[in-house]
Amino acid sequence: MAFTLPKLPYDYDALGPHMSADTLKLHHDKHHKAYVDKLNKAIEGTRYAQLSLGEIIQKSWRKDQEVFNNAGQHWNHSFFWQCLTPDGGGQPSGDLKRQIDKDFGDLAAFQKEFADKAAKQFGSGWAWLVLGGDKLEIVTTGNAELPMLQGQQAILTCDVWEHAYYLDYQNERPKFIDSFLKKLVNWQFATERFELRGEGDHLSVRDYQSAQHAFAKSGAAESGARKAANALDSDEGAELERARRQTGKRASRR
């Protein structure tokens, strides 16, 4: 199965001045596209060719570096675009707000820890809000690595590779992170991600594989990443429901 570059869920100039059209064109049309193209080339005719994106990520990790790097970066960027929105920033709502208050104290404390960790990630990588067990955490990963490898569910991410901010902020990564947190972050998306959490459990790798398979097959190229996100979420939710029924657990949300 060949992977496709999902369209951005907003116009190139929609995130200005916090993230310019030039940055988005370079980042999405060149960097992300290159990961997709290289992934397709690297898996063609191999045992990876029929696998979902999540399966490829799991099976290539620490084994086939080129496959893993491009697969991980395809997943990470597809997720990252959805974490941004015009007129972003503001506050999370509902259960996610309550959980942030519980695990970090308040939104300001969350923002401070996220900014500190994102700024300190040495070299290229990603800063994430993840759900590990029943607790929210902020983690960073290097290069193409991602939370699913640790069994954590990604709620939100910020790309801290230099290509994400250098045109707009030059070497001032902390300013970019501040813009991400205050002007760009899509709390609605993060809230939706959080609503899908398991009952006291993080999403399993299998859930991710299934969700990413749906994501890759959802016609993202034609209909936009937002629709793909919905397809991802609904499939993930359905998968969780099945898992709950199998284990005899009641499907309920906190």
Least spacing, CB of residue 27 vs Mn ion, in Å? 6
> Smallest distance, Å, CB 163 to Mn ion?
5
Q: Which is nearer to Mn ion, 137 or 162 (CB)?
A: 162
Burial 67-84 (b: 16+ CB within 10 A, else e): bbbbbbbbbbbbbbbbbb
Which of residues 75 and 114 has its CB atom nearest to Mn ion in the complex? Answer: 75
Question: Nearest approach, Cβ of 223 to Mn ion (angstroms)?
Answer: 23
Q: Which residue lies nearest Mn ion, judged by its C-beta? A: 159
Provide the minimum distance between the beta carbon of 234 and Mn ion in the complex, in angstroms, as a whole number: 26
Contact residues: Mn ion, CB under 5 A: 159, 161, 164
Minimum distance from residue 31 beta carbon to Mn ion (Å): 5
The tokens for 187 are 């709390």
Q: How far is the CB of 30 from Mn ion (least distance, A)?
A: 10
Distance between terminal CA atoms of the chain?
A: 37
Closer CB to Mn ion, 1 or 26, in the complex: 26
Quick one: 177 or 203, whose CB is closer to Mn ion? 177
Contact (Cβ atoms closer than 8 angstroms) between residue 156 and residue 177? no
